[in-house]
Amino acid sequence: MIIDCHGHYTTAPPALAAWRDRQIAALAGSAAAPVRADLRISDDELRETIEPNQLKLMDERGIDLTIFSPRASFMAHHVGGFETSSEWAALCNELCHRVSTLYPDRFAPAAMLPQSPGVDPATCLPELTRCVEEYGAVALNLNPDPSGGHWTAPPLTDRSWYPIYEKMVEYDIPAMVHVSTSVNPAFHTTGAHYLNADTTAFMQLVQGDLFTDFPALRLIIPHGGGAVPYHWGRFRGLAMALGKPELEDHVLGNVFFDTCVYHQPGSDLLFDVVPARNILFASEMIGAVRSVDPRTGHHFDDTRRYAEAKLSEADWAAIREHNARTVYPRLDALLKGQGR
């Protein structure tokens, strides 16, 4: 089977954005804050947003299941404070859970956290726990920069993040390290901030010794790792200069990359540089790049094509399914429970 480890609910019903607009307006004192019960979205409305969009493309591209999380740019942890993020995360996570309930064979939920700049990450634990225990979340998204492009948070190796890592290890779930909207005009959200963050997160992990403290922790760096594969020699050299082991020993037991790279040469580089065991199939379809490449006549985000053009059958089998079952044990258990 083909498992897409990187999907977001980018087509959520307009009522969700309208609720968020009211919440943001209330922060400015121009309106009363909405409550969760004000958001009314029927199952039919969810179907109307999923079936002609994500499901249609999954069927066309032969993708069996997508790990489905709230829209990354909508997380917007820089807006308001913890209470704002808490209400917003709860609503977004509930919708992804509902989609996975409507289509249990096609979607597995992943959770966003109610992060907020300058707030102790431990405040996210109740929502994390709720999503795993009540919604069956198989993963979470972890934003290394809740400030929205200003990078005020400590590096991922800082002990302030440890409560989240401890809970991840307890639940045996991984996290995708994924930033949200950039409000820094120097960084375009999807063209710069996302890729910068992928690269930055990897270097933070190279600099530290996080996996000595958490040998069972698993992190996925999306978008093919940003600049990481292209500058693998630089990172190897920097690791040596820092007195760290080779990258294979220092980080690759715990860090994985997805295939959200939208052209053949870039995908080939990823497959040539990073061991196949550390790569997970993903497309982030209906995401940052939605158009058709005029040079190929295919959608940029049809990443299956790039993988099949390059990989051996053994490596393709690992990347499309077996690695995901290893990195996401709760997903593997879910699939086995379904007879898959």
Q: How does pLDDT run across 63-80, given as a tens digit for each residue?
A: 999 999 999 999 999 999
Cα-based distances in Å from 63 to 68, 187, 281 = 13, 32, 10
What is the per-residue burial (b if ≥16 Cβ within 10 Å, else e) of 88-118?
A: bbbbbbbbbbbbbeebeebbbbbbbbbbbbe
Query: For residue 337, how far is the Cα from the chain centroid?
Result: 24
Residue 44 has pLDDT above 80, yes or no: yes
Distant-in-sequence, close-in-space partners of 294: CB < 8 Å, separation ≥ 6:
none
Q: How does pLDDT run across 153-187, given as a tens digit for each residue?
A: 999 999 999 999 999 999 999 999 999 999 999 99
Residue 30 has pLDDT above 80, yes or no: no
Which residue, chain included where needed, has tokens 């870039």?
266
Q: How does pLDDT run across 95-130, given as a tens digit for each residue?
A: 999 999 999 999 999 999 999 999 999 999 999 999
Give the strand pairing for 139-142 and 279-280: unpaired
Percent share of the chain, pLDDT over 90:
98
Residue 215 burial by Cβ neighbours in a 10 Å radius (0-12, 13-18, 19+): exposed
* DSSP conformational letter for 297: T
Distant-in-sequence, close-in-space partners of 28: CB < 8 Å, separation ≥ 6:
none
Q: Considering the chain, what is the average pLDDT of its residues?
A: 97
Residue 51 among the catalytic residues: no
Q: How does pLDDT run across 213-237, given as a tens digit for each residue?
A: 999 999 999 999 999 999 999 999 9
Among candidate residues 248, 284, 308, 321, the one labeled active-site is 284
